[in-house]
Chains A and B, each alone.
Chain A
Amino acid sequence: GENVEQHPSTLSVQEGDSAVIKCTYSDSASNYFPWYKQELGKGPQLIIDIRSNVGEKKDQRIAVTLNKTAKHFSLHITETQPEDSAVYFCAASGPSNTGKLIFGQGTTLQVKP
């Protein structure tokens, strides 16, 4: 069935270091891969996404890479700041033309000042 595995479940880094979160998806038909950041008491916030026809996308300190063959995609955050501390979720699109997203279990990122 549809499944997204996300690792690690927790990640602690020093301010200024890089953080990497990895996800693996099971459905080869998935073609859209968003990443969300969720802070305490708030809904998930879309921070970056990538589509299956692109291998890499960057937005300032955040980048995402996609390996369709291996069904892997990763989030890279450089020069981490304390305000990057949050729970991060990866997701993969479900059946085409519907709003279904299959989410990973989340990664709690802690950036120590």
Chain B
Amino acid sequence: KAGVTQTPRYLIKTRGQQVTLSCSPISGHRSVSWYQQTPGQGLQFLFEYFSETQRNKGNFPGRFSGRQFSNSRSEMNVSTLELGDSALYLCASSFGAGTGTFYTYEQYFGPGTRLTVT
């Protein structure tokens, strides 16, 4: 079974630009979560999508947005890039569950996209 794939693996952008990152989950998984990893702040939750709906959002500014397509692939977008947005962006794939199911499924991470903002 193929794992989680993320593209591109590396990106260099300039302040003020915008960027779109892509994540393809494990086949059959319907939930995709995004995390930002930095040396100072560690792993921080950005948002989660399940069946094309954003189900939870972390404490990040509105410049960070995402979406999920009907095939469960997800994209995240960062507009008006700042130097502090330089980080490893990770997506995690999970089987997920519908409303009313109080069960957290295992999450499997992709290799990440390394974003450098200059």
Contact = CB atoms under 8 A, between A and B. Distances in A.
Contacts of A43: 4, 90, 109-112
A98 interface: yes
B43 interface: yes
Nearest to B44: A103
Interface of A is mostly: loop
A34 B106 contact: yes
A45 interface: yes
Most chain A CB atoms below 10 A, which of B43, B92, B99:
B43
Contacts of A31: 102, 104
B101 A100 contact: no
Contacts of A91: 43
B106 A49 contact: yes
A91 B96 CA distance: 17
A36 interface: yes
B55 A99 contact: yes
Contact of B96 (A41, A89, A99, A103): A99
A68 B101 CA distance: 21
7 contacts: A31-B102, A31-B104, A98-B50, A98-B56, A99-B33, A99-B92, A105-B42
Interface of B: 4, 31-33, 35, 42-45, 48, 50, 55-56, 58, 90, 92, 94, 96-97, 99-104, 106-112
